[in-house]
Structure 1
């Protein structure tokens, strides 16, 4: 069996990988599709995500679907052959955050394809992986693996929109039209936002934003278009760029709400604190998700229109080419790896 393994910055290899056999309460999954995420790209390009540095080779990927291959002793899960999606997080379930239903910010959580811990948590871009049974979800009837592979990033978007509060009838600004920003737009449309303004530097992502529900698009590098984004009730920063954060602070209305979703560069950045104070802007962070994963699967099964987000699919053998394209936002949005091609 083979896997997509990152050894360091710009050192991505498709190589032999032995996931072992499932132990007690574990399930082996034959992975069919995986979506390349921004964090995967950071590990590929920089050898790190924020403060999480690669210290050993690591299988990438946390947006994966497949079929149950085998169950370990005592595992309670779907039968062998069942199409499944994998929730990538394993919180500790014993800390204060877990007890207070904030499992997504558990400091002891393990996450597929993450270098936050050493040994690293190996990811899902492998022909077969072994995960705790509690992370495995049978796909709803009629949901294709191609749509289901978006469950993880859609969960991130769903959680962020929930952090914004009631969006029905509201004017919402989204900065950044990458895959997560596009899925935020799809959720906003589903939740009844009256206006959805999307800002980005590139035309291709803005075209995709219109296809998934944006009512207005704005080129972030064109000052003459900025008034279109003025006085938003809610602003969701999905670009991870300091300029995007500044736009949100400047364009959200007085007493409005700002949700920080995109991970900003490590270290301190400039922040318009006085504007937040004098306008009484509510600022909320949004990190990953928890039970939102199950709702995301249901939304996908019910036909939520997210198809435009997926733009390319590559066989596992061409993982390096897939990663290079996924980092080119002028040509691609969500890029998938087809592991059934192995």
Structure 2
């Protein structure tokens, strides 16, 4: 019996310019010898997807050509790689969106931290030209090295959180050992919520969360947050004295809050994506308290630990997902994800 023909086109979500995102038919690239064709089941909408749509840029990555959005994707292998590498057809997989690349070697970086490789690419990113096209499409050819086999019993809907949970896991790792320590999380959006879950699992004695709105704070209480505060409660924030703060709001005000609420000798982890250029930060406070300000960018092999923790139930994160839309309703999904009061993580469903 002949193998079914590979699809040549599929519906995808493409941003053309700031404010111009379209659901349109895009060509499906035939897989190379070391690539599998993945049928995408779910894609999670990330803040960077929203930034490309609303502003034509995500941080320092400027949109210069049409970009297929999406990097938080899971699905099943439709066609296995011709060279025999990777999982067989039918296998459920998560996608590690990064492809490390040292470039011409002129820019040094620590080799044990491939997320910092200067020419590295990421699905759905405008960091380089041509852009690295994303995964918000039903059929996607990917190198097998980017695929992670999902354990039996782990629902694909839950596994859709693998990528953002890995970002959160990496951020908590950048904080150091949080066992028995007080952790402040600034911003209760999807990444902040996942940081809460990871910090609780890692043994933090107390996890305090601050946000501008009550609704996202209500959501993180179910993830193990010990205490929640509104950002307007400056008196309570001044008394937090966190050993470690994780800034996940991606705003200058959020970073200032993290600095002001961190105890002397503490550490501030910056995972939220701030705009490019100089930012107003209370540096004098950071100096006087000998705070350590450290960046947190994407992740490396943490994805494997995240998959294991999701599978064994030690990282319960299902409540982070608040909405699910069929891909045909992708524009509505984007609008929903743009409202942090109404939504946490919003998923696109590509396959039934």
TM-score normalised to structure 1 length: 0.96
Structure 1 unaligned residues grouped into runs of 5+ = none
Q: Which residue of 1 aligns with 2:4?
A: none
Distance 1:93 1:74 in 2: 25
Distance 1:152 1:231 in 2: 30
Distance 2:156 2:197 in 1: 19
Which structure carries more helix by proportion?
1
Q: CA deviation at 1:156?
A: 0.4
SS at match of 2:50: helix
Q: CA deviation at 1:278?
A: 1.5
Distance 1:258 1:334 in 2: 24
Q: Which residue of 2 aligns with 1:144?
A: 155
1:203 equivalent in alignment to 2:214:
yes
Q: Which residue of 2 aligns with 1:286?
A: 296
For residues 155-199 of structure 1, what are the alpha-carbon distances to aligned partners after superposition, in whole Å with 9 as ceiling and x for unaligned? 000000000001000011110001000000000100110010000
Distance 2:295 2:58 in 1: 18
1:55 equivalent in alignment to 2:79:
no
1:168 equivalent in alignment to 2:179:
yes
1:119 equivalent in alignment to 2:125:
no
SS at match of 1:147: helix
Q: Which residue of 1 aligns with 2:5?
A: none
1:307 equivalent in alignment to 2:318:
yes
**Cα 1:97/1:104, change in 2 over 3 Å:** farther
| Match runs of 1:74-113 below 5 Å | 74-92=83-101, 100-113=111-124
Distance 1:142 1:222 in 2: 43
For residues 277-310 of structure 1, what are the alpha-carbon distances to aligned partners after superposition, in whole Å with 9 as ceiling and x for unaligned? 1111111110000100111111111112111100
More off after superposition, 41-50 vs 176-185: 41-50
Q: Which residue of 1 aligns with 2:13?
A: 4
SS at match of 2:351: helix
**Cα 1:235/1:121, change in 2 over 3 Å:** same
Equivalent pairs, count: 340
SS at match of 2:41: strand
More off after superposition, 264-273 vs 155-164: 264-273
Contact in 2 for aligned 1:93/1:99 (Cα 8 Å): no
1:253 equivalent in alignment to 2:252:
no
Contact in 1 for aligned 2:241/2:261 (Cα 8 Å): yes
More off after superposition, 271-280 vs 308-317: 271-280
Distance 1:315 1:251 in 2: 41
Contact in 2 for aligned 1:22/1:71 (Cα 8 Å): no
Q: CA RMSD in A?
A: 1.4
Q: CA deviation at 1:51?
A: 2.2
Contact in 2 for aligned 1:219/1:225 (Cα 8 Å): no
Structure 2 unaligned residues grouped into runs of 5+ = 1-9
Distance 2:144 2:237 in 1: 48
Q: CA deviation at 1:49?
A: 0.8
Q: CA deviation at 1:22?
A: 0.7
More off after superposition, 49-58 vs 324-333: 49-58
- Deviation >3 Å, runs of 4+: 93-99
Distance 1:308 1:242 in 2: 28
Distance 1:159 1:270 in 2: 25
1:27 equivalent in alignment to 2:36:
yes
1:324 equivalent in alignment to 2:335:
yes
Distance 1:194 1:323 in 2: 36
Contact in 2 for aligned 1:97/1:103 (Cα 8 Å): no
SS at match of 1:305: coil
